[in-house]
Structure 1
Amino acid sequence: MSLILALALQTAASPGVERPKERVPTDVRRVTIIVRDIENSLQVYRDVVGLKVNYDAVVETSGVALPAGRPGAKARLVLLNGNDPWIGWVGLMQWVDPPLEGPEDYPKRMTFGGHVIVMNTDDVDGRCAAAAKVPNVTVTAPPRLQQYPGRNGGPPIRVRGCNFFDPDGTLIEMNQILK
């Protein structure tokens, strides 16, 4: 089982996983994905996945702290969240003035520096079918049942899930944890 999947499945309701006695010093707030076409990406993260837009603005970039674009360039930043108001957000950022140069091909395979976002959902079949209809989304695995060994001798972990690349190369694993 991948480390990413293992971390995604560690919730308070998961057998064999206990709430930490002490908080760790860091929360993962969000991942921001640089995109070619923010409206197309919103079709994935807002319309298919079901995240809620909580911020949408054009910002001036330094080209230094975030080493992309040139100093003073303008980028549209959209932040989306799931059920937690503090952690687990996804940011989408598109350079609009001037546009950011990038690869023309849409990804079909992962390589070094690639990443996977694992998300739990209540309707994996419906969300995966909707994702397949978004332009430039590549489905790599349709919905299927997966079973992983349980934690600490617990029962097996049963997951129905699918995988697809968003239009800019982020691999999304949509899961529905089964009982």
Structure 2
Amino acid sequence: MADILKRTTLMVRDAEKAAQWYSHVFGMTRWMDTPFTLSGTQLAAGKKGDKTRLIILKCEDDLIGMIGLLEWLDPKQDAPEELPRQIAFGAPIFVIASDDAAAAVERARALGSHIHCEPHEWEVTGADGKKKNMIGCSFWDLDGYFFEVNQLVKVHD
């Protein structure tokens, strides 16, 4: 079997609040929710003995495209006071395919997300060479992770 990217885990201030955001904005469902103690070996964060909580959320697939939400319970980790309003080098850009980009941005706004770009129409040439009309928008989640949300409107032959 070839390697696959199955999950991205994000460090969050409050795993429960973050999980509610992802459920409400993107319709993700809880796949796993567990406390665990760090071994001090594999993860390049925290130290041996730190108590954490990991919530894993999924969309439609049980293997790929999941989001992990990792909260330090004891000791609490310092989180930045100011959340980013610009994507920094090394920061992920999450791209979401949506059936309704405008509704996704409104759900994010209602929960306090900073909106970078309101829904707008745009066109792209896909990997197959066909032009696609899209509606796109972008915003940050409550912990400063950036999301580009795109809705396919039409594929040109």
Match of 2:52 in 1: 75
- Which consecutive unaligned segments of at least 5 residues does structure 2 have? none
User: C-alpha root-mean-square deviation of aligned residues, in Å?
Assistant: 1.5
Is 1:35 aligned to residue 12 of structure 2? yes
Q: Calculate the TM-score normalised by the size of structure 2.
A: 0.91
Match of 2:133 in 1: 158
Query: What is the Cα deviation at residue 152 of structure 1?
Result: 4.3
What is the rounded CA distance, in whole Å, between the counterparts of 1:120 and 1:149 in structure 2? Answer: 16
Match of 2:152 in 1: 177
- Which consecutive unaligned segments of at least 5 residues does structure 1 have? 1-23
Is 1:145 aligned to residue 121 of structure 2? yes
Match of 2:85 in 1: 108
What is the rounded CA distance, in whole Å, between the counterparts of 2:48 and 2:35 in structure 1? Answer: 14
1:38-64 per-residue CA deviation (whole Å, 9 max, x = no partner) reads 233123211111111010111111233
Contact 2:19/2:57 (8 A) holds in 1 = no
AA partner of residue 148 (structure 1): V
CA separation of 1:100 and 1:159: change in aligned 2, threshold 3 A: same
Greater shift, 112-121 or 60-69, is seen at 60-69
Q: Calculate the TM-score normalised by the size of structure 1.
A: 0.80
What is the rounded CA distance, in whole Å, between the counterparts of 2:92 and 2:108 in structure 1? Answer: 18
What is the rounded CA distance, in whole Å, between the counterparts of 1:105 and 1:71 in structure 2? Answer: 28
AA partner of residue 131 (structure 1): A
Structure 1 residue matching 2:110: 3-state secondary structure? coil
What is the rounded CA distance, in whole Å, between the counterparts of 1:177 and 1:82 in structure 2? Answer: 18
AA partner of residue 37 (structure 2): E
Is 1:63 aligned to residue 40 of structure 2? yes
Moved over 4 A (4+): none
1:129 pairs, out of 106, 110, 115, with 106
Contact 2:36/2:54 (8 A) holds in 1 = yes
